[in-house]
Amino acid sequence: MTAAQMEHEITLTVNGFAVSERVEARRHLADFLREDLGLTGTHIGCEHGVCGACTVLVDGEITRSCLTLAVQCEGKSVTTIEGISDSGAVADLQEAFRARNALQCGYCTPGMVITASVLLDAEEMPDREEIRDHISGNYCRCTGYHAIVDAVETTLKARAEAGR
């Protein structure tokens, strides 16, 4: 597919399933997931990369879906909050969010959970400062962040204990 067209046929993996769709080149990944695939767990806040609500995993790396074009995801593997929730991969983190009141309106939560998820397997356990730094690109207008840092830290500690 090298012809310069306004629309393109794309094939990618979303939450483990193969997906083929025809998309406009200007369709960003967040709209593709929400509008074309009905995966509305990925939220849209600012659409210019600032708020982090739209964060997803592309080939395992946290990525702004509002700053990635769907057509650029040809052949890639995209994981959304639906994917990591259904697989149980972050069940402990989600439970810690609930227990610690780390969400109120919940708008930022999918992006927060996805962003924090890549810390859970880090070789060296990040301290609170590093957790804050890592989630600094995700805005939350409700919680004041403290509870979110607590929830992430609790989950990291529990996993480290269990791994021993």
Ligand X SMILES: Cc1cc2nc3c(=O)[nH]c(=O)nc-3n(C[C@H](O)[C@H](O)[C@H](O)COP(=O)(O)OP(=O)(O)OC[C@H]3O[C@@H](n4cnc5c(N)ncnc54)[C@H](O)[C@@H]3O)c2cc1C
Interaction site with ligand FES (CB under 6 A): 44-47, 49-54, 64, 66, 103-108, 140-143
Binds other proteins by CB under 8 A, chosen from 15, 33, 34, 63: 63
Contact between 50 and ligand X by CB under 6 A: the answer reads yes
Binds ligand X by CB under 6 A, chosen from 16, 49, 106, 144: 49
Contact between 46 and ligand X by CB under 6 A: the answer reads no
Cβ-based neighbours of 56, under 8 Å, separated by 6 or more? 29, 30, 33, 42, 62, 63, 65, 78, 79, 80, 81, 114
Tell whether the torsion through CA atoms of 37, 42, 44 and 47 is positive or negative. Answer: negative
Which pair of tokens denotes residue 47? 């659409």
Beta-sheet pairing, 77-79 with 55-58? antiparallel
CB of 151 to ligand FES, least distance (A): 12
Taking the least distance from each CB to ligand X, the nearer of 49 and 106 is: 49
